[in-house]
């Protein structure tokens, strides 16, 4: 998995049994080089010769994903022949379901060639072809492994974008992207302090929320739109943020305001669409932001916990989910939830490149 944050590649080795929670055997991470990240960020907007650059980067990413796989298998002492398949999300550079497409860069053919392992890519396109948003896809995994008959759970993944899964005890599952997660906070601290992340939200906690700025940011039409809906850098990016500032604000106050924006987006969405939820379970990088976790609890007035309490490591949730989606594809089982994505029905997701 390599997500909206554009920080690097997460890989997990997962063993699936028929009924048990997936067993996490090992994990491995490779960061993106600064130049690669810059090229990928550039492709989010039109630029000269972008088709050539996109295909070159897809090959480069396949090499990096293959290196991650090799590193993971070496770390765990696992022979390649034991692996049934690789589920590879690829790197999103455009997500335009309203125009009928989404682009996750990776050469599935090269990944299969470099690893000699069946590789499954392009998980989102079939859902979009069926009229869906192609996102979020992880709620189907949440539904399969995190539902409970005695607790109404809301699961929130806080990566670059935040997405929410509603898991009521009656099984009427819904989910959607609810707004920015870490994306804007990470970009802001990088711009002003040269750091890639606000560790534990310490910098945000040093500032104060600016109500006028917050209210301007909340006027984005995405927040008022009804699910199903999905978001990315097309909606929330540094240029959009800058257009709502006058330039005189203290940088730490903007960081505090961005944290409040993320927390409000999550909690207001949960209160509106997960009515009566008992607890909020958090995964993704946002789980390590102590200031954000504290603010979520204050706004929600409900317990806010890591998904570790449910047996799934919060740092590896998405990577585990795409391993499961690959398994679903191989077994010709649907990987989407139409109530979440808005697709016309369940669909088998992914394109298979045999070993």
Per residue in 226-266, pLDDT (tens digit) is 999 999 999 999 999 999 999 999 999 999 999 999 999 99
Q: Supply φ then ψ for residue 221, to 5 degrees.
A: -60, -20
Is residue 19's pLDDT more than 70? no
Residue 211: predicted pLDDT:
98
| Average predicted confidence (pLDDT) for the chain | 96
Is residue 290's pLDDT more than 80? yes
Mean pLDDT confidence for 201-207:
98
Mean pLDDT confidence for 170-181:
94
Band of pLDDT at residue 17, cut at 50, 70 and 90: confident
Percent of the chain with pLDDT over 70: 99
Residue 5: predicted pLDDT:
87
Q: How far apart are CA 244 and CA 239, in angstroms?
A: 9
Residue 20: predicted pLDDT:
76
Is residue 208's pLDDT more than 90? yes
Look at the pTM and tell me if it is higher than 0.85.
Answer: yes
In tens, the pLDDT along 31-85 reads 999 999 999 999 999 999 999 999 999 999 999 999 999 999 999 999 999 999 9
Mean pLDDT confidence for 341-352:
98
Percent of the chain with pLDDT over 90: 97
Task: Decide: 340 and 176 in contact? Cβ < 8 Å.
Answer: yes
- Beta strand spans in 81-206 (E): 86-87, 91-96, 101-105, 119-121, 153-158, 161-167, 174-180
Q: How far apart are CA 57 and CA 80, in angstroms?
A: 25
Residue 267: predicted pLDDT:
98
Residue tagged 């730490």 (tokens): 252
Residue 173: predicted pLDDT:
95
Is residue 95's pLDDT more than 80? yes
DSSP 307-347: GGGGTS-TTSHHHHHHHHHHHHHHTT-----HHHH--SS--
Residue 192, CB-side half-sphere exposure with 13 Å CA sphere? 19
Residue 141: predicted pLDDT:
97
Q: Which domains does the chain have, with CATH numbers?
A: 8-134+316-353 (3.30.420.40), 147-310 (3.30.420.40)
Residue 109: predicted pLDDT:
98
Residue 132, CB-side half-sphere exposure with 13 Å CA sphere? 27
Is residue 22's pLDDT more than 80? yes
Is residue 336's pLDDT more than 80? yes
In tens, the pLDDT along 132-144 reads 999 999 999 999 9
Q: Is residue 275 exposed (0-12), middle (13-18) or buried (19+ Cβ within 10 Å)?
A: exposed
Q: How far apart are CA 331 and CA 27, in angstroms?
A: 24
Residues in the chain, overall count: 355
Is residue 171's pLDDT more than 90? no
């Amino acid at each position: 998995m390599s997500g909206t944050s554009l920080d690097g590649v997460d890989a997990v080795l997962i063993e699936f049994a028929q009924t048990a929670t997936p067993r996490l055997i090992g994990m491995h991470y490779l960061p993106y080089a600064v130049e690669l990240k810059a090229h990928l960020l550039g492709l989010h907007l039109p630029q000269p010769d972008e088709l050539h650059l996109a295909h070159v980067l897809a090959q480069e990413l396949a090499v990096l994903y293959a290196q991650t796989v090799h590193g993971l298998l070496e770390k765990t002492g696992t022979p390649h022949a034991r692996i049934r398949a690789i589920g590879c999300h690829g790197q999103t550079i455009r997500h335009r379901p309203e125009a009928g497409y989404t682009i996750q860069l990776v050469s599935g053919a090269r990944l299969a060639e470099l690893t000699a392992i069946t590789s499954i890519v392009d998980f989102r396109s079939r859902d979009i072809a069926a009229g869906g948003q192609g996102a979020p896809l992880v709620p189907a995994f949440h539904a399969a492994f995190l539902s409970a008959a005695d607790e109404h759970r809301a699961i929130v993944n806080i990566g670059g974008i935040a997405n929410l899964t509603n898991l009521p005890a009656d099984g009427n599952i819904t989910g959607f992207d609810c707004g920015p997660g870490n994306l804007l906070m990470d970009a802001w601290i990088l711009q002003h302090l040269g750091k890639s992340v606000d560790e534990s939200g310490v910098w945000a906690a040093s500032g104060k929320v600016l109500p006028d700025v917050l209210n301007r940011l909340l006027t984005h039409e995405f927040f008022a739109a009804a699910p199903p809906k999905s978001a990315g850098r097309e909606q929330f990016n540094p240029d959009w943020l800058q257009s709502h500032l006058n330039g005189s604000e203290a940088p730490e106050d903007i960081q505090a305001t961005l944290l409040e924006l993320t927390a409000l987006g999550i909690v207001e969405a949960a209160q509106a669409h997960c009515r009566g939820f008992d607890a909020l379970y958090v995964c993704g990088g946002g789980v390590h932001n102590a200031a954000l976790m504290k603010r979520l609890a204050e706004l929600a007035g409900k317990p806010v916990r890591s998904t570790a309490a449910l047996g799934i490591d919060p740092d590896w949730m998405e990577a585990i989910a795409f391993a499961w989606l690959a398994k679903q594809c191989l077994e010709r089982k649907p990987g989407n939830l139409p109530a979440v994505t808005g697709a016309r029905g369940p669909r088998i997701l992914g394109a298979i490149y045999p070993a």
